[in-house]
Amino acid sequence: MSKRNKIRKMFSAIFFLILLIPVFQKLYAQDAEKNRVRLKADYVKIMDGEIYFDIGATSRVNNENIDVANITLIISNEFNDEETELGKVTTNMEGKAKFVLKSLAAIKPDSTNTYNVVISFMGNDGFKRASKSISFKDAIIKANIITKDSVNYMSATLIDASKDSLLSNQLLNVQVQRLFRPLRIGKEFNSTDENGTILVPIEEGIPGVDGILTFEVVLKESDDYGTVKAIVEAPLGIPIVDESTFDERTMWSPRNKTPLFLLIVPNLLIFGMWGIIVYLTVNLFKISKIKNQNQKNENI
């Protein structure tokens, strides 16, 4: 190619590109109009139970934080610079999603025994793509109830599963499962000692259905291990007594449980009065039926 040709070609290429700049700008501008999604994810492991990720998607639209509902997120395991898809979830009306892992064996840890998981959002017309990566190591809590000097204690040990080492100086919570939020037992933070163990006395007199209480020992949102929860059931509570008056005959119960007095006396009065009324009505008929014996006299 002659030099002149080369230069011509270069210029035409550059010219071509310049032509396309407004197109790029338009595309970029439209891209910038999309809102950014913030993904939040927590790894939760329940001993002898589910292992899952609690995922939430929010976005700042018009200076307000809103929940991003109905978006599909892909959860993948990052291993050796490769992403293996583990599954998909769609956020609900509150922008929340829960992805359950069948078991930790399904994902591969890296050399430091850390599991790396990426939650990504491919983006849609309203929102840009986003992703969030979380890393965690596998920890185990072994919890059980022991009784010393007729006092019940919750004893729990925190173990790093991969190294099988005891973890000390970690803060654990001990609580009882309740309807809305769990009820804390013991101090707010119980630090594991050099044996990775805590010993928390359980107070008396906590009510539970049939006296059974469900205790939880929780490692909350630790940077290395995520959230780990051990659940222990024990009949250490006071049985619940149903004091409701629902089954009794009261003034405020539905009509199938009216107080007996109100069933008997008013009905006696009603039937008494209406009985007399019926008798009187019968009298009216009797009067009209009486054959006229005096009619002849009347006509005279």
Partner 1 sequence: MEDNNKNSRRKFLDKGLKLGIATAIGGLGISKITTKLNAKNDTHSGEKMELMTTDGTLIEVDSSEVMEMVHSENEEEKYNLREGMPNRKFVMVIDLAKCKNALKCQVACNKHHYITGEHAWIKVYKMQEDEDTAPYWMPTTCMHCDHPACVTVCPVDATFKRRDGLVLIDNERCIGCRFCMAACPYSTRVFNWSEPGQEVTLNMNMEMAHRKHNSIEYTGMPSVKGTVDKCDFCPHAIKENVLPHCVTACPNGVFYFGDKYEDTVTNGEESLRLSKLLKDKSGYRLMEGLGTKPSVYYLPPVDRLVDFKDGLENFTGYKSVDKPE
Partner 2 sequence: MNISDKLINDLAPRKFGRWGVIWTWSLIIISIAGIIAYIDQVIKGQIVTNMNDYALWGIYISNFVFFVATSFVGAVTVAVLRLTKNTWRTPIVRIAEIISVASIIMAGITIMIDMGRPDRLLNLFIHGRMQSPIIWDVIIIPTYIVISLLLLYFPLLPDLALLKKHFKKTSPKLSKWYGKLSLNWTGSAAQKILQMNSIRIVAFLTIPAGFMLQTIDAWLFSTLFRVGWDSTNMGAYFISGASVAGVGALVTVVYVLRRAYKLEDYITDFHFDKMGKFLVLTCLIYLYFNINEYLIPEFTSKKEEITHMNVLVTGKYAPLFWFVNIGGLIVPIITLLFEKGRKPLPMFFVGLLVVVGSWWKRYLIVTPTLLNPFLPMEGVPEAWHHYFPSVHEWLITFATLAMALLIITILVRYLPIIPMQRTADEQEALLKIEKNKEI
Residue 269 interacts with, from partner 2, partner 1, none (CB under 5-8 Å by kind): partner 2
Name the segment binding partner 2 (CB under 8 A); options: 1-9, 106-114, 123-131, 272-280. Answer: 272-280
| Binding partner at 179 among partner 2, partner 1, none, C-beta below 5 to 8 Å by kind | partner 1
8 Å CB contact between 54 and 44: yes
Contact partner, 20, from partner 1, partner 2, none, Cβ < 5-8 Å per class: partner 1
CA atoms of 140 and 46, how far apart (whole Å): 9
CA-CA distance, 218 to 230, in Å (whole number)?
Answer: 6
Which listed residue (5, 255, 299, 300) binds partner 2 by CB under 8 A? 255
DSSP 196-242: SEEEEEPPS--EEGGG-EEEEEEEEEETTTEEEEEEEEES-SEEP--
Q: Does 274 bind partner 2 (CB under 8 A)?
A: yes
Positions in 109-148 near partner 2 (CB under 8 A): none
Tell me which of 81, 298, 299, 300 binds partner 2, using CB under 8 A.
298
Tokens (6 digits) for 48 = 């002898």
**Nearest distance in Å: CB 258, partner 2:** 5
The pair of structure tokens assigned to 146 is 């022991």
Where on the chain is the footprint of partner 1 (CB under 8 A)?
Answer: 1, 9, 13, 16, 20, 23, 26-27, 30, 93, 125-126, 176, 178-184, 206-209, 240-246, 251-255
Q: How far is the CB of 266 from partner 2 (least distance, A)?
A: 6
Q: Are 43 and 86 in contact (CB under 8 A)?
A: no
3-state SS, one letter per residue, for 151-184 = EEEEEEEEEECCCCEECCCCEEEEEECCCCCCEE
Q: How far is the CB of 99 from partner 1 (least distance, A)?
A: 20
Q: Residue 35 or residue 253: which is nearer to partner 2 going by CB?
A: 253
Q: How far is the CB of 248 from partner 2 (least distance, A)?
A: 13
Tokens 């009509």, located at residue: 255
- H helical segments located in the chain: 3-33, 260-289, 295-299
286 binds partner 2 (CB under 8 A): yes
18 binds, among partner 1, partner 2, none (CB under 5 to 8 A by kind): none
Polymer length of the chain: 300
Contacts of 137 (CB under 8 A, 6+ apart): 109, 112, 113, 114, 115, 160, 161, 162, 224, 225
2 vs 299 by CB, closer to partner 2: 299
Which of the listed partners (partner 2, partner 1, none) does 27 bind, with a CB threshold of 5 to 8 Å by partner kind?
A: partner 1
Binding site for partner 2 (CB under 8 A): 251-255, 258-259, 262-263, 266, 269-270, 273-274, 276-277, 279-281, 283-284, 286-290, 292-295, 298
